Chains A and B, each alone.
Chain A
């Protein structure tokens, strides 16, 4: 199954993310962000971080969740390989992130994502599964 695809937004970057359930959607969203920033296959699973995020609804939750993922990358230099979701509901998500600290000799940064925006952020349940749309400032 396709995890995500990039959609056009004039100034910024849009990602449409898919998942069979909410947990998979969020896991794929974290994957999509990391895959956009770097070549994710070059990232090893050496570090682990647990993350816990709250939100007022699904739209808010996915933005807050991706903000945390992005802070790991931009603030701590931790590139992500996989994210597993342990618990998720419309107002909170708990999970584990596996990855590795940025190593310029092995990792290449393809794109800097400055921030996750709330602009037109959405999570919806369709007949095929769950779908999320998020716009990033790049």
Chain B
């Protein structure tokens, strides 16, 4: 295909004009400082590739944390017409419903400061981390199917949380249309014993402290106060989700010649949303999304138990409660006003977070006056941001915003530049206690391997895609 050109529209938006087979323009949200780095990898080309897919509505978009992925860029957002458009497993990602859950407590930093080492070590022992780690329960086929249909609700029924948790989870912790009969034997096998496990790589559980409040009204609605202890969990659907993506990708690649248009990249293999195969993928994807919500719900429960044990306090003294749970690898059928008309479209968010505005019925009632909470985790030891969704995101980006810092270094590169460094001690010098299962994890996840979180969040804030509410700093972290 022809060379990609990027034209600046305004302070925070760049456009890739449609050339060749592109059906719509590409729009990249960024800043003068960050756009240079973006041009150096293949992510703009990936934005352009997505624009080739049929039924794409308005734009192929990328958020400021965008980087080179496979197929879709990470940070990619694209909506498709339900009749003429496609659904692409690669546009959702392998870790279906990878997402973030934020809990706050009644504790202040002073309450845990002297006991942080013990607390992090207890969490590391209690929460299965790392490759192929197994959870404490082994699901029968029948129970696993219930998890796939009911999501976080299954965990609540089994005593791992409350109904309030469900209300404060995107989609109530269960996506409609989940059908276990659309899932392969291999995926079911892999899902049997991974519920309640964190995973590896960039997944983590972090103890954080609310450092700064930008919007007191929204912070009060979300129950955030300066110096309060919080916990952020970043995990997804584990091997179950990877297998679902892999299975459907393969069948869609096989049938790709029947689509009637050339694929710019096999990883963009897709099916028409209205086709049998498209519907089956959506049903299987919903199963994986539900698995991930049940997983994060169980991880939250394990965290609450561990806090109580490690700090020798009662659950009510700790008072840990869910602020919100978002997914950032997903495709969803949602309604927007497009060219003055209400229209339902299928929005792919691959490394992007939903950011619905105040007043939207999907936002929990207690938050509806401020907008949907958006949780943006940073790199290891940096902390995270809480934002809220806006009307502008709803109009401009199908209610989407960024999802994290975004990598700038490959894992191999991060290992090279950090060779010989004692990362764990470096983190301790920054007052962050870190424990990881994998030998190379800490080196691969060094803070320099990521974009500057503040810079990424500033772009979405300035572009009006979400508003800053609070910044949390990290004090303890466990990783796979």
Q: Which residues of A contact B (CB under 8 A)?
A: 6-13, 56, 59-60, 64, 67, 71, 74-75, 77, 102, 108-112, 114-121, 135, 137-138
Taken together as a complex, chains A and B put the C-alpha atoms of A12 and B265 apart, in Å, by 17
| Contact (Cβ within 8 A) B68 A109 | no
Chain B residues whose C-beta falls within 8 Å of the C-beta of A12 in the assembled complex: 69-70, 410-411
Interface status of B41 (Cβ within 8 A of chain A):
yes
Chain B residues whose C-beta falls within 8 Å of the C-beta of A13 in the assembled complex: 410-412
Interface residues of B in 410-455 (CB under 8 A from A): 410-413, 438-440
| Contact (Cβ within 8 A) A112 B68 | no
What is the interface of chain B mostly: helix, strand, loop, or mixed? mixed
Beyond A12-B410, A112-B201, 7 extra complex contacts between A and B, CB < 8 Å: A8-B410, A11-B70, A59-B266, A74-B242, A75-B243, A120-B70, A138-B411
Interface status of B480 (Cβ within 8 A of chain A):
yes
Interface status of B132 (Cβ within 8 A of chain A):
yes
Interface status of B85 (Cβ within 8 A of chain A):
no
Q: Which residues of B contact A (CB under 8 A)?
A: 41, 43, 67-71, 74, 90, 93-95, 130-132, 186, 189-190, 199-201, 239, 242-243, 245-246, 249-250, 253-254, 265-267, 269, 407-413, 438-440, 480
Taken together as a complex, chains A and B put the C-alpha atoms of A75 and B238 apart, in Å, by 12
In the complex, the number of residue pairs spanning A and B with C-beta atoms less than 8 Å apart equals: 107
Q: Smallest Cβ distance from B75 to chain A, in angstroms?
A: 10
Chain B residues whose C-beta falls within 8 Å of the C-beta of A116 in the assembled complex: 246
| Contact (Cβ within 8 A) B70 A111 | no
| Contact (Cβ within 8 A) B242 A115 | yes
Point out the residue from A6, A56, A115 that lies within 8 Å of B412, measured CB to CB: A6
Point out the residue from A7, A10, A114, A118 that lies within 8 Å of B68, measured CB to CB: A10
A118-B440 contact given A9-B410, A10-B407, CB 8 Å threshold: no
Taken together as a complex, chains A and B put the C-alpha atoms of A77 and B440 apart, in Å, by 20
| Contact (Cβ within 8 A) A8 B94 | no
Chain A residues whose C-beta falls within 8 Å of the C-beta of B269 in the assembled complex: 118
Q: Smallest Cβ distance from A13 to chain B, in angstroms?
A: 6
Q: Smallest Cβ distance from A69 to chain B, in angstroms?
A: 13
Q: Smallest Cβ distance from A103 to chain B, in angstroms?
A: 12
Chain B residues whose C-beta falls within 8 Å of the C-beta of A117 in the assembled complex: 70-71, 90, 267
Chain A residues whose C-beta falls within 8 Å of the C-beta of B186 in the assembled complex: 71, 75
| Contact (Cβ within 8 A) B95 A114 | yes
Taken together as a complex, chains A and B put the C-alpha atoms of A98 and B480 apart, in Å, by 28
Q: Smallest Cβ distance from B36 to chain A, in angstroms?
A: 15
Point out the residue from A7, A102, A112 that lies within 8 Å of B480, measured CB to CB: A112
A11-B407 contact given A77-B132, A114-B95, CB 8 Å threshold: yes
Q: Smallest Cβ distance from A35 to chain B, in angstroms?
A: 14
| Contact (Cβ within 8 A) B242 A111 | no
Point out the residue from A59, A109, A118 that lies within 8 Å of B249, measured CB to CB: A118
A-B contact pairs, 6 of them (CB 8 A): A10-B68, A108-B439, A112-B131, A112-B132, A118-B70, A119-B69
- Which of A74, A111, A114, A137 has most B Cβ within 10 Å? A114
| Contact (Cβ within 8 A) A118 B245 | no
